[in-house]
Amino acid sequence: MSEVTDIGEAVAAIQVSADVRARDGKRAPRGLLAGAAVSALLVLLPLAFTFYRATTVGFSDAAELVFRPLVGELLGNTLLITVSATLASAVIGTAAAWFVERTDVPGRRLWAVASAAPLAMPAFVTSYAWVSISLDLQDFAGALLVITSSYFPLVYLPVAAALRGMDPALEESARALGCGRWATFARVVLPQLRPALLGGMLLVALGVLSEFGAFQMLRFRTFTTEIYAEYRTSFDNSGASLLACLLILLCLVCLAFEFACVAAHAMNASIAARGGLPCVTNWAAGAGSCWRVSLRWASSRLACRSA
C-alpha cells in the first residue's frame, strides 16, 4: 500500500513539474507586454512627479509644513470619515445583500436595482441635493450621510454576488443543528463572505480617501480639499505635494491591510483543507491578527520555495 502511495505521489509531482515547465515556456505577446508597460507608466508617472515635487522641499521646510496643527486636523478628519463611512457601508451593504438574496422580501428585483442605483449618481450631486435641503448638513454628520449613501453599493454588489454563489445547504444544516439565524450568519455565512466584504470595504475606503467634490460642497476639510486649496494659493505647490504624499501613504496602508486580511483568510482555508485548525477562528480575532497570520503565510511560502 505504501508503494502505491509513493508511486501516486511521484506521478503527481511529475505532472506538477510538467505543468510548471509548460506555463514557464509560454511567453506573453509583445503587444500585451507593451500595453501593460504603457498603462503602468501612465499610472506611475503622476505619482513619481508628486514625490519629486515633495523631495524638492528642504527638510526643515517640509517638517514645518507637515507638523502643523492643520495637518493634524486634516488627518483626524480624514481617518474619522474614512473609518466611519467604511464601517457604515459594510453594515448597510451586507444587510441589503442579505435581505435581497436570502429573504422573500417583496420586490426583490426592485430592491436589487435600488441598492445599486447610488453608483449612478456622483457623490457631489448627492451632497448638493442634501445641502440644498438643509445647510445644517455641512458637518461630519452630513458628510457621513452623503458618503455612506453613495458608496455602500460597493459593498452590496460583491457581497450579493458571494451570497448567490454560496450553497444554502450549509445554512440549512446549521439551522437544523440548533443554530439561530444570527448565529448561522455569524458562524457560517460571514466567514465565507469575508473576501467579498473586505474587497468592498477596500473600495469604499479608497473612494472616501480620494473624494473631493462632496467634501468641498459639505465644507468638511480633508486632505483632498486642502490639497486643492494649497494648489490654488501657493506659488511652488510644495505644500500640496507633501499633503498628496501623506494621502498616498494612507491609501497604501489600506491596501496593505486588505492584502494582509486576505492572506490570513487564504492561510486559514488551506490549513482547514488539510485537516488542521485555523489559526484564526473568530471574526474579531481575525481582524486583529491579520498581520501576524500574513507574516506566517509569507514565511511558509518562502520556506516552500527554498525547499
Digit-coded pLDDT (tens) for 284-299: 444 444 444 444 444 4
Instruction: Read off the pLDDT of residues 238-261 as tens digits, 9 standing for 90 and up.
Output: 788 889 999 999 999 998 988 887
Q: Residue 19: its pLDDT value, please?
A: 53
Q: Quote the pTM value.
A: 0.74
Q: Residue 200: its pLDDT value, please?
A: 94
Element (H, E) at 79: helix 69-102
For the chain, how big is the Rg over CA atoms in Å? Answer: 24
Q: Residue 294: its pLDDT value, please?
A: 40
Neighbours of 214 (CB within 10 A): 27
Q: Are 267 and 237 in contact (CB under 8 A)?
A: no
Q: Residue 217: its pLDDT value, please?
A: 92
Q: Which amino acid is at 257?
A: F
Write out residues in the chain with pLDDT < 70, as ranges: 1-26, 235-236, 265, 268-307
Q: Residue 180: its pLDDT value, please?
A: 79
Distances (CA, A) of 68 to 75, 169, 222: 11, 57, 14
Q: Residue 247: its pLDDT value, please?
A: 93
* CATH number 1.10.3720.10 given to 40-257: yes
Q: Residue 53: its pLDDT value, please?
A: 84
Determine what percent of the chain is predicted with pLDDT higher than 90: 36
CB-based contacts of 188, cutoff 8 Å, min separation 6 = 170, 171, 174, 179
